């Protein structure tokens, strides 16, 4: 028997409700509208479609509270059903970031190499984010933009730039970059909506480095930068 639009709508609604409660451990007593409002700061999909989801909650109540076994007082239109089904899929099974975006050819550098070598490596490869390792442990990510800022400061102080880049190691420059949360680690299961949420909630974040387990001793698998935000938005729009 073919499902009615109201049946499909309720199934998708329940999928969204269950997924958000499970992912964010919301209490069973919490209403759907409260779940949506609390998820806004946690989920980029919910944040983008907050008003639609609130409206869907009202429509669900009309279907459930006013329907009976013989007829449904509110039968959703096809486009409404298709939209809530798409949102249910996006929320419950979002695309994995490493499969769709980012640079999977990750170029790394040893912390003992000098800045001159790092700059030549960036120029030759075209990659401006170099995960920096001390042995097998990640100590940070050398970012081209932040490196230029530091070199500009040296020029302003009349420091011999060639001498500086020849004698300063990548490990030493990493200390100058400070710990201002411009990069983070994530595991290979990071979803696009989660990556979007990290960037949107931390305006200082420039880079997400993906390793298998999300730890600093794991092999780097992919780099996602703030430049990938546009592509991630497009993927979510058409997914």
So what's the pLDDT on residue 104? 94
- Cα separation of 191 and 197, whole Å? 10
Quote the CA–CA distance of 145 and 130 in Å, as a whole number: 12
* Structure letter (DSSP) for residue 73: S
Q: What is the dihedral of CA 111, 114, 118, 119, to 10 degrees?
A: 150
Q: Which of 91, 123, 155 is the last residue of a domain?
A: 91
85 and 109 assigned to the same domain: no
CATH number reported for the structural domain that contains residue 116 in this entry: 3.10.580.10
- How much is the average pLDDT of 59-71? 72
Q: Based on the domain organization, do 105 and 68 belong to the same domain?
A: no
| Cα distances (angstroms) measured from residue 35 to each of 10, 18, 52, 106 | 17, 10, 14, 38
Do 174 and 77 lie in a common domain?
Answer: no
Token code pair at residue 87: 């949102």
Q: Based on the domain organization, do 64 and 122 belong to the same domain? A: no
Query: Do 128 and 152 lie in a common domain?
Result: yes
User: In terms of C-beta density within 10 A (0-12 exposed, 13-18 middle, 19 or more buried), how is residue 140 classed?
Assistant: buried
Same domain, 218 and 130: yes
Domain stops at, among 91, 126, 150: 91
pTM score: 0.85
Q: Are residues 120 and 183 in the same domain?
A: yes
Taking all residues of the chain, what is their mean pLDDT, rounded to a whole number? 92
pLDDT band at 10 (very low <50, low <70, confident <90, very high): very high
**pLDDT of the residue at 221:** 97
Residue pLDDT, tens place only, 208-230: 999 999 999 999 999 999 999 99
Residues 164 and 78 in one domain: no
Q: What tokens does 92 get?
A: 């419950």
Query: Rounded distance, CA 237 to CA 239, Å?
Result: 6
On whether both 70 and 105 belong to a single domain, the answer is no
Under 8 Å between Cβ of 76 and 136: no
Q: How many domains does one find in the chain?
A: 2
Residue ranges making up the domain that contains 224: 99-238
For position 62, what pLDDT does the model report? Answer: 86
Picking from 49, 74, 91, the residue at the C-terminal end of a domain is 91
CB–CB of 173/115 below 8 Å? yes
Helix 144-156 to helix 170-177 angle (10° resolution) is: 90
pLDDT digit string, tens, across residues 124-169: 999 999 999 999 999 999 999 999 999 999 999 999 999 999 999 9
User: What's the confidence (pLDDT) of residue 71?
Assistant: 60
How far apart (Å, rounded) are the C-alpha atoms in residues 210 and 98?
A: 8
The answer to whether residues 111 and 224 belong to one domain is yes
CA 91 to chain centre: 14
**Percent of the chain residues past pLDDT 70, beyond the cut:** 95
Residues 72, 162: one domain?
no
Locate all alpha helices (DSSP H) within the chain, ordered by sequence: 5-24, 32-39, 44-48, 50-66, 78-92, 97-100, 115-125, 144-156, 161-167, 170-177, 192-201, 229-238
Structure tokens at 16: 């969204």
Q: Are residues 65 and 104 in the same domain?
A: no
pLDDT at 179 over 70: no
Residue pointed to by tokens 């073919």: 2
Q: Phi-psi region for residue 52, left (φ > 0), alpha (ψ -120 to 50) or beta?
A: alpha
């Amino acid at each position: 028997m073919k499902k009615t639009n109201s049946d499909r709508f309720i199934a998708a609604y329940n999928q969204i409700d269950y997924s958000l409660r499970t992912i964010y451990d919301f209490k069973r007593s919490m209403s759907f509208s409260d779940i949506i409002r609390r998820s806004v700061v946690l989920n980029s999909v919910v944040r983008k479609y907050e008003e639609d989801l609130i409206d869907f909650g009202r429509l669900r109540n009309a279907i459930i509270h006013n329907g009976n076994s013989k007829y449904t007082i509110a039968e959703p239109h096809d486009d409404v059903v298709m939209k809530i089904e798409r949102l249910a899929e996006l929320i419950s099974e979002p695309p994995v970031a490493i499969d769709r975006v980012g640079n999977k050819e990750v170029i790394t550098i040893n912390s003992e190499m000098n800045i001159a070598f790092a700059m030549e490596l960036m120029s030759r490869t075209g990659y401006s984010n170099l995960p920096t390792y001390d042995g097998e442990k990640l100590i940070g990510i050398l970012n081209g933009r932040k490196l230029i800022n530091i070199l500009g400061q040296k020029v302003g102080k009349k420091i011999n730039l060639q001498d500086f880049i020849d004698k300063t190691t990548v490990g030493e420059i990493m200390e100058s970059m400070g710990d201002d949360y411009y990069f983070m680690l994530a595991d290979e299961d990071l979803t696009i909506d989660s990556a979007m949420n990290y960037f949107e909630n931390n305006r200082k974040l420039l880079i997400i480095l993906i390793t298998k387990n999300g730890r600093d001793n794991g092999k780097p698998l992919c780099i996602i930068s703030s430049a990938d935000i546009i592509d991630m938005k497009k993927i979510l729009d058409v997914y």
